[in-house]
Amino acid sequence: MGIILLDIGNVIVDVEFKKFCSSVSRHGAAGAERLFNRYCVSEVKLRFDKGLVAPSEYLAMMAGDPEIRRMPINELKTAWQDIFTLTDGIEDAIQRLRKRHAIWITSDTDPLHFTFLLNNFPVLKQASRYLLSYEHGYLKREPGAFTEILGTVFSRQPDEFLLIDDREDNCRCAEACGIRAHLFTGWPRVFEESGDF
């Protein structure tokens, strides 16, 4: 039995950051694009994902942004969280993988997103471990993320793990640490190319 390291975003669930940006923008599509760059793919978002910015601080930052329409903080929080849909085929894929392997979730994510995901998508509860950037402080493009993973089990070798992730830089980093990686483009291709690992 090996260990499958599953990414969340665009592997277990599809992520629609632009849904959030469009729903809160005061200035239409142009404003939504600026909000996307400011809060969804920025350095401050990476710091949030690494646990260096508290959820209350991140929400306050957005609430104080003049490009975001005025709304109660709970409404803003809901808009930030409600951006996910299950990826096609994930439930069957998890069942198939669990027959032969342990499932660990490893994700570059923030606590607001992860809490929402765990509460609203039961498929995530089928994992036996969660290794999250905001808890250990590393993104998967950084070797520390995989050192952290390997350090949790001393009886396993790196080649007993397989990362399934949609980002090339994360896959390259895993492979540099001795962990096999599959660049995710859809569940049929995972099984077509890797069989049952």
CATH number assigned to the domain comprising residue 121:
3.40.50.1000
Q: Which helix (H) or strand (E) holds 111?
A: helix 111-120
Please count the structural domains in the chain: 2
25 has pLDDT over 60: yes
139 and 42 within one domain: no
Residues 108 and 131: beta-carbon distance below 8 Å: no
- Supply the angle between the helices 90-98 and 187-194 in degrees, to the nearest 10: 30
183 versus 193: which is more confidently predicted?
183
Give residue 152's pLDDT.
79
56 and 112 within one domain: no
Give residue 194's pLDDT.
72
pLDDT, tens only, 38-55: 999 999 999 999 999 999
Domain-terminating residue out of 38, 59, 81? 81
145 has pLDDT over 70: yes
Give residue 197's pLDDT.
63
55 and 120 within one domain: no
6 and 75 within one domain: no
101 and 76 within one domain: no
189 and 102 within one domain: yes
41 and 68 within one domain: yes
Average pLDDT over residues 3-12: 97
10 and 31 within one domain: no
- Residues contacting residue 43 through CB under 8 Å, at least 6 positions apart: none
Pairing verdict, β 180-183 and 13-15:
unpaired
Residues 165 and 140: beta-carbon distance below 8 Å: yes
Please list the alpha-helical segments (H only) found in 12-102.
Answer: 17-24, 28-39, 43-49, 55-63, 73-81, 90-98
117 and 35 within one domain: no
158 and 101 within one domain: yes
Give the separation between CA 67 and CA 120, rounded to whole angstroms. Answer: 29
